[in-house]
């Protein structure tokens, strides 16, 4: 009897090793290597031998005829925006998020909206029974007869049901519960997730059926399983949000059919998710007027400008090393901007604790927020509020200069629409466009100039 071969696979990154190791050399995680059996042969691929006829042949790119397929839109404009304008036929979309954040609720509502257009939708749940899914559907008001529910985890049975029903859309909730019998490892392992996703991709492309798959996330916030999973699918969407806030953010990380980093805002209600069409107004509705340490920045989320509030609290430290804490922005950015303020402006911040937060639970990662963060820190340190009708936009360099940012016209127009009177922007961004008449645009070259314009400068 032939000896069965085994390999050790990292459950975080997919690294394979012939022997067990306590620490994965690829992702540096401890105790993530799990022993899995190696299948002798798989039907996932075929090697072309000598004398066999190739089924396909290379074609010149100029001779290939293409046609733009119409997208299928839902009633959620925010969902359509993140996907780049709607659902593309034959696409494979991965949606990830923390447990209980609302992934199943979102997809059940989307399925009902698609089914109401006389399109058959197959909702496959591997974590809930059909009765549990029905209870959630009743709470959300899902009543379409074209929505079919299946509680199954065997990929072969799922493929047979898709072949029999021939649905227009398929939802898999979740990929970590689906298993393939040919793969001997447990459901949710790297091998199972990889093989099941590969088979679902073949079904989506072969039958031209859009398939949505739900993926759990790790404690670091990334999709559980190998990074290869994100490369296999056509689009990767992250469903984010704070548990103590009702707002949810659907963010596009990868999209082969549209722009990346698009963002859709939803509000969780008792009857389900409701889209927020004007997120800037929502994020600023609880802003305190005349409070020191509060500024407003216009940040670009994909193709949409969003105005959010930056809050800072600077207080004398009680420890040998001052604390630097940040929520919603890169925590390494705070000490960098404080060093610029201390060196270029003369603010003595080395013995001060700093706490910086983006109000509303939004996460910002673009450099155009630097100026607003710097002015917010200086405002709190001086205990001098900035002007409440100012919006600040700009990247801060290490020499204290304010560098130009992209799409300045869209940012300023969004600020003018919400009633802001002044926009403090980089001086280099004043050229090549005409600002709205209802807002005053002030160009600054350095952080000192920005503080002088907003706080009176000292």
101 marked as part of a ligand binding site? yes
97 marked as part of a ligand binding site? yes
Give the closest residue to 165 by CA, choosing from 124, 213, 214, 108: 124
Give the closest residue to 267 by CA, choosing from 287, 281, 255: 281
299 marked as part of a ligand binding site? no
102 marked as part of a ligand binding site? yes
Half-sphere exposure (CA, 13 Å, Cβ side) for 36? Answer: 25
* CB atoms near residue 20 (< 10 Å): 11
100 marked as part of a ligand binding site? yes
* Residue 49 phi, psi (nearest 5): -90, 180
Which residues are registered as beta bridge partners of 254? 236
Scored b (16 or more CB within 10 A) or e, 61-84 reads eeeeeeeeeebbbbebebbbbbbb
98 marked as part of a ligand binding site? yes
Helices marked H in 236-304 — which ranges?
279-284
- What span, in angstroms and rounded, lies between the C-alpha atoms of 160 and 155? 9
Give the strands of the sheet with 121-125, arranged side by side: 147-151, 121-125, 169-173, 211-216, 92-97, 235-240, 247-255, 263-269, 272-275
Q: Which residues are annotated as a binding site for ATP?
A: 97-104
Q: Which residues are annotated as a binding site?
A: 97-104
């Amino acid at each position: 009897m032939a000896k069965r071969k085994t390999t050790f696979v990292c459950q975080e990154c997919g690294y394979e090793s012939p022997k067990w190791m306590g620490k994965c050399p690829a992702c540096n995680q401890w105790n993530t290597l799990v022993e899995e059996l190696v299948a002798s042969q798989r039907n996932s691929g075929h090697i072309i031998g000598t004398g066999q006829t190739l089924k396909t042949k290379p074609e010149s790119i100029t001779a290939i005829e293409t046609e733009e397929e119409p997208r299928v839109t839902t009633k959620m404009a925010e969902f359509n925006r993140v996907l780049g304008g709607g659902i593309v036929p034959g696409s494979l979309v991965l949606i990830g998020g923390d447990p209980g954040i609302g992934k199943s609720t979102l997809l059940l509502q989307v399925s009902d909206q698609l089914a109401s257009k006389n399109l058959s939708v197959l909702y496959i749940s591997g974590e809930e029974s059909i009765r549990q899914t029905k209870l959630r559907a009743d709470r959300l008001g899902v009543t379409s007869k074209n929505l079919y529910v299946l509680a199954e985890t065997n990929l072969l049975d799922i493929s047979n049901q898709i072949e029999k029903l021939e649905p227009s859309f398929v939802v898999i909730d979740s990929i970590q519960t689906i298993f393939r019998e040919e793969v001997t490892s447990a459901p949710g392992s790297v091998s199972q997730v990889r093989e099941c996703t590969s088979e679902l991709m073949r079904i989506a492309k072969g039958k031209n059926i859009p398939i949505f798959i739900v993926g759990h996330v790790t404690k670091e916030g990334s999709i559980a399983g190998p990074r290869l999973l994100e490369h296999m699918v056509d689009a990767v969407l992250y469903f984010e949000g704070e548990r103590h806030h009702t707002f949810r953010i659907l963010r596009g990380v990868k999209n082969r059919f549209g722009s990346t980093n698009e963002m859709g805002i939803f509000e969780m209600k008792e009857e389900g998710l409701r889209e927020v069409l004007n997120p800037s107004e929502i994020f600023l509705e609880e802003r305190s007027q005349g409070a020191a340490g509060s500024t407003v920045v216009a940040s670009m989320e994909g193709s949409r400008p969003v105005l959010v509030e930056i809050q800072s609290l600077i207080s004398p430290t009680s420890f040998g090393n001052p604390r630097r804490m940040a929520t919603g922005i890169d925590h390494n950015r705070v000490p960098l901007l404080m060093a610029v303020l201390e060196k270029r402006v003369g603010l003595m911040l080395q013995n001060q604790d700093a706490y910086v937060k983006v109000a509303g639970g939004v996460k910002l990662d673009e450099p155009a927020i630097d100026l607003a963060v710097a002015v917010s820190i200086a405002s709190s340190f001086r205990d001098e509020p900035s002007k409440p009708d100012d919006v600040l936009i700009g990247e801060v360099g290490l020499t204290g200069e304010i560098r130009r940012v992209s799409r300045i016209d869209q940012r300023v127009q969004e600020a003018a629409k919400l009633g802001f009177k002044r926009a403090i922007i980089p001086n280099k961004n004043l050229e090549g466009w005409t600002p709205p008449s209802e807002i005053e645009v002030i160009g600054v070259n350095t952080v000192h100039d920005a503080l002088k314009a907003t706080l009176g400068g000292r």
